[in-house]
Copies of this chain bind each other. A is one copy, B any other.
Amino acid sequence: MIRKLTLILSIALFFGCNSNTETQTEKSSMKEEMKTTQTPAEYTLVIHGGAGTIKKENLTPEKEAGIKEAIEAALTKGESILKSGGTSIDAVEATIMILENSPHFNAGKGAVFTNEGKNEMDASFMDGNTQNSGAVAGVTNIKNPIRAARAVLEKSDHVMLAREGAENFAKEQGIETVDPAYFYTEHRWESLQKAKKKGLGSVISEDPIDYKFGTVGCAALDKHGNLAAGTSTGGMTNKKYARIGDSPIIGAGTYANNNTCAISSTGHGEYFIRYVVAYDISAMMEYGGKDFQTAANYVVKEKLKAAGGSGGIIGVDKYGNVAMPFNTAGMYRGYVKPGERVIKFYEE
């Protein structure tokens, strides 16, 4: 607590020292405030189920309905926790578990297959109040990888554990394991066979319906003013060499900070790592004085796009403002706050 106060004080002093442009910057930051804070939301929860070439013509009505149903269920679950005063961490975990348990998303049940025909999953979790973080990479037998990431956050001195090591830790923590066969889904298996047949390298998926990079994520602001974010993925179809994407990387795939925002990313992970996408948005707010939506739009639609990185992010700032920018054809996404529920798939 004292450390935290010292930190806040020192940040204030540090940036305070530089402001011989006081009157004018005050004015411009007041403008920012008016644009973004509105009345702070009592709680907010925002989710994604992957970004990519998601177009109405590529989805059967059944598939679209199935995805919508899972997203509705996830939002309902998350909201029920936040509404009754639960923590953002509990809400993020429970929401992501619903998406992991659905075969419609590339995370948990429904994860894509590696080149070797395995399901290797990554997940991460960050607590915006303490900056504590947890991540697992390349796990094969944990039913809900997001639960393992939370256990690393709460029960370990470490941030990131990999493969068998992460599995051993999760087992010791009593986290539910399953036979790897649990993760088998026919459509993902077929995607792998098609990718191999076409001689594609490690790809998102060659099937437009499947081409959504996978990855589910959630960010939440609770009634106590605490932010949290989490991300879970099966990675890339046909991936080799135990590739780790951005999903388990704090700062790239997931970031949360009570002073700024909470974010989960989805997209071409390598670009999200190189551009430190999730933290970049927070830094642009903290150091550049941008509001959340401006910073998020800029990083995803300008900076990342110019670099050739496809994808999007969802997130919420400390006032409950939501941002869901993406630079692909679509992104499965939605949010809920008191009296407001939005679900969208395609570009506006």
A60 at the interface (CB under 8 A from B): no
Identify which of B25, B166, B245, B252 contacts A251 (C-beta below 8 A). B252
Given A14-B302, A132-B274, A275-B131, does the pair A243, B307 have CB atoms closer than 8 Å? no
Whether A131 pairs with B241 at a CB distance below 8 angstroms is: no
Whether A163 pairs with B160 at a CB distance below 8 angstroms is: no
CA A276 to CA B274, docked complex, whole Å: 12
A85 at the interface (CB under 8 A from B): no
Given A14-B302, A28-B21, A287-B283, does the pair A243, B6 have CB atoms closer than 8 Å? no
Whether B307 pairs with A3 at a CB distance below 8 angstroms is: yes
Range, interface on chain A:
35 or more
Whether A242 pairs with B7 at a CB distance below 8 angstroms is: no
A168 at the interface (CB under 8 A from B): yes
Question: Closest approach, in angstroms, between the C-beta of A24 and any C-beta of chain B?
Answer: 4
A97 at the interface (CB under 8 A from B): no
Given A161-B241, A162-B138, A287-B283, does the pair A131, B307 have CB atoms closer than 8 Å? yes
A208 at the interface (CB under 8 A from B): no
In chain A between 266 and 308, which residues have their CB closer than 8 angstroms to a CB of chain B? 269-270, 273-276, 279-280, 283-284, 286-289, 298, 302-303, 306-308
Interface residues in chain A, defined as those with a beta carbon under 8 Å from any beta carbon in chain B: 3-4, 6-7, 10-11, 14-15, 18, 20-21, 24-25, 28, 126, 131-133, 137-138, 156-166, 168-169, 201-202, 240-245, 249-252, 255, 269-270, 273-276, 279-280, 283-284, 286-289, 298, 302-303, 306-308
12 examples of A-B residue contacts, CB within 8 angstroms: A4-B306, A11-B302, A132-B274, A137-B244, A157-B202, A160-B243, A160-B244, A160-B249, A162-B244, A251-B252, A283-B283, A284-B287
